Amino acid sequence: MKTIDEMLSLDLLTHDQHGEISAWIDQSTTPEEILQMPPQLWQAIERASLAMGVNDDLLRPPSLDAGSLLVS
């Protein structure tokens, strides 16, 4: 949900889109149900993800010093 909140704050989603996407995710009990989201909402997420560079972040190899990070 944090990502779609950020998309809203960056004006990449409208308040209506954010509300509909949030409601869909909240009512879904499985990842498969989330994947059944209406196409127009997926398209809005895809456009916002592209603008934010989300795919680039996911495809970037890990940093060589990532192993030295402490996770608490």
**In the structure, what pLDDT confidence band is assigned to residue 62 with cuts at 50, 70 and 90?**
confident
Alpha carbon distance 44, 18 (integer Å): 9
Residue 56 DSSP SS3: helix
Decide if 48 contacts 13 (C-beta within 8 A).
Answer: yes
Closest C-alpha to 51, from 1, 13, 5: 13
The structure's pTM equals 0.74
- What is the reported pLDDT for 69? 57
The dihedral region occupied by 24, where left means phi > 0, alpha psi between -120 and 50, and beta the remainder, is alpha
pLDDT at 27 over 80: yes
- What is the arithmetic mean of pLDDT over 41-57? 89
Residue 68: the pLDDT is: 57
